[in-house]
Structure 1
């Protein structure tokens, strides 16, 4: 039963959490089924209801964190107003001291501005600090638990309470799924190479022959060559073919050489006759 649940969780694996499950968000690949620390147990047993007094659309609201304590409202508004028209802005401050806590909520007039800020503004630098931008999770993510109840996202390794599934720390791919995808890629590459070789051989007209037929063809060709050299042919048809073949492929340079050779012999014969007549006259 455990193996079946694990297989189902691997099939429905996603890089980001679609619903907040404290047990899955506490594992690096999102496949755990048992809590591994007391904070996860506290998050499971807790009940959290989103603040009903919060105004604005959650789809148009972004969460900005890791701000400098010296960053003012004007600086944040000026920076994020270039992605769209701002509707609401709230820089969270401590109730007792009145100092900023380092995070804020910004609502845009439409979803396009929020999506543009989510895509472009994350990991930008404001007053020497690299900021983090994400959508609001309190009203968008079902089953949300804040950090104070053992939930949330992110965290530090030193605390030992890392939470995965968010934009800061997405889930890592399970090993079983990684091996399966690697095997699928290998089979796909193998089939691609086979298709490429088939197309290549079909285009080139290269059909493979068996070793026995290749030996028979070579033996037959060698026998035909011997018959041609000896002036014998296996059939009249083959002799006609060979004669036509030799006539067709006789090079013109060879004929030219024969013609020059015969003219030279004729000149030599005339020269010898003249010389013999001249010597007879002298005698």
Structure 2
């Protein structure tokens, strides 16, 4: 049977604890958002590489690379803002799981970028999940 609304599990794989609202407001934000979150990226992936891949889904408004809050170096995630919801849906549908810099990237709907979300939330300054990676070396500096 057809449905007018997508299930939450199909919209996003995670619930952002820092979202300033209820679960219902979070779901509504996901339904209207033109932002995607890209995770599991290599620390060496450039903004240009992200643009080249994600522009295949549609016209990009902005790319925000996730940075380690201490070293200000890339830490494996980014946000891509599109102009249209349709392009956003195409990015999630067709690009998630694609190999970029030898890593299968995770593309998910995001409720929308706000200043401060570009910083990693882990204790070390990067992403929390990186602290559990077996191939993660915090002593490697990129720049």
* TM-score normalised according to structure 1 size: 0.31
Kindly provide the CA deviation profile for residues 65-105 of structure 1, in whole angstroms up to 9, marking residues without a partner as x: 00000101101111100110000110011132111111100
Kindly provide the CA deviation profile for residues 230-279 of structure 1, in whole angstroms up to 9, marking residues without a partner as x: xxxxxxxxxxxxxxxxxxxxxxxxxxxxxxxxxxxxxxxxxxxxxxxxxx
Please identify, of 88-97 and 116-125, the stretch whose mean Cα deviation from structure 2 is larger. Answer: 88-97
Q: Does the C-alpha gap of structure 1 residues 86 and 72 become closer, same or farther in structure 2, counting only changes over 3 Å?
A: same
Q: Does the C-alpha gap of structure 1 residues 138 and 128 become closer, same or farther in structure 2, counting only changes over 3 Å?
A: same
- 1:88 pairs, out of 36, 46, 62, with 62
Q: Distance in 2 between matches of 1:17 and 1:75?
A: 26
Question: 1:60: Cα distance to partner?
Answer: 0.7
Stretches of structure 1 that go unaligned for 5 or more consecutive residues are 1-13, 23-42, 51-57, 140-146, 149-154, 159-283
Aligned to 2:3: none
Q: Does the C-alpha gap of structure 1 residues 92 and 15 become closer, same or farther in structure 2, counting only changes over 3 Å?
A: closer
Kindly provide the CA deviation profile for residues 103-150 of structure 1, in whole angstroms up to 9, marking residues without a partner as x: 1000111111101001000110001000000000468xxxxxxx87xx
- Aligned to 1:83, the other structure's residue is in SS state coil
Q: Does the C-alpha gap of structure 1 residues 83 and 95 become closer, same or farther in structure 2, counting only changes over 3 Å?
A: same
Point out the structure with the larger strand share: 2
Contact 2:63 2:78 survives alignment (8 Å)? yes
Q: RMSD between aligned alpha carbons?
A: 3.2
Aligned to 2:49: 75
- 2:20 pairs, out of 38, 43, 49, with 49
- Aligned to 2:9, the other structure's residue is in SS state coil
* Pairing of 1:68-217 with structure 2 (within 5 A): 68-137=42-111
Q: Distance in 1 between matches of 2:9 and 2:95?
A: 19
Aligned length: 98
Point out the structure with the larger helix share: 1
